[in-house]
Amino acid sequence: MDVDDIDRQVLAALIADGRAADADLGAAAGVGASTASWRRQSLEDAGVIREYQPRLDYAALGQPVTALFQVDVDPSVRETVLAALRDDARFYTVYEVAGPDDILAFGRFPDRDSLVRARRRLRGEEGVRHVRITPVRPVADLDQFAPEAGDEDGDG
C-alpha cells in the first residue's frame, strides 16, 4: 500500500488518540470525515494498522524500572532462551540479533532487586554465557509517528 501525506496525518492523529472520531481525524488531515473514515479503514484493511491499544503508566502499575538485557548464549540453547524470555510476562520486547550479543530483551520490573534477581536467574540457565543489564529511562515516546516522511539519514 502506498501511504501518502493524508494517510500519515490520519495515522498521527490515531496515535495521539486511538479513539478519535472520524471528524477529528479529518480535521487533523485536512479532509472530510468520510474521507478520513475511508482512509482509516483502508489502512486497517491493508494491515498498516494492526490493532488499537491503551497506553499504560507502568510506574502506576508497580513496574517503574525498565531495563535492557543483553544476552550472549551458546547457539545450541538460543531458541530455548528466546522462548523463556518470550514467555516471561516481565519482558515486553525480545529481539534476536547479530553481533557480540545474541538476544536483546526489554523488561519492566517493580524494583532494582527484582531486576537483579531476573538477571541472576537468566545467567544460571544452561548455555547462557553472559547477561548484561542496563536500566533505561525513556526520553522519547516510541509510539509517536512523524507524519513527515524524512530521508534515510534522518535529517529531512
Percent of the chain at pLDDT > 70 equals: 89
Bridge partners of residue 134, in order along the sequence: 68
Say what the pLDDT of residue 54 is. Answer: 86
Say what the pLDDT of residue 40 is. Answer: 97
pLDDT bin (cut points 50, 70, 90) of residue 22 is: very high
pLDDT higher than threshold 70 for residue 147: no
pLDDT higher than threshold 80 for residue 146: no
pLDDT tens for each residue of 42-85: 999 999 999 998 888 889 999 999 999 999 999 999 999 999 99
CB 128 within 8 Å of CB 81: yes
Crossing angle of helices 33-45 and 22-29, rounded to 10°: 100
Say what the pLDDT of residue 51 is. Answer: 93
CB 8 within 8 Å of CB 147: yes
Say what the pLDDT of residue 142 is. Answer: 57
Q: Which CATH architecture has domain 65-136?
A: 2-Layer Sandwich (3.30)
Residues 6+ apart with CB under 8 A from 33: 21, 22, 23, 25, 26
Would you list the domain boundaries of the chain?
Answer: 5-45, 65-136
pLDDT bin (cut points 50, 70, 90) of residue 153 is: low
Q: Do domains 5-45 and 65-136 have the same CATH topology?
A: no
pLDDT bin (cut points 50, 70, 90) of residue 154 is: low
- Over residues 106-118, the mean pLDDT reads 96
Q: Which CATH architecture has domain 5-45?
A: Orthogonal Bundle (1.10)
pLDDT higher than threshold 70 for residue 107: yes
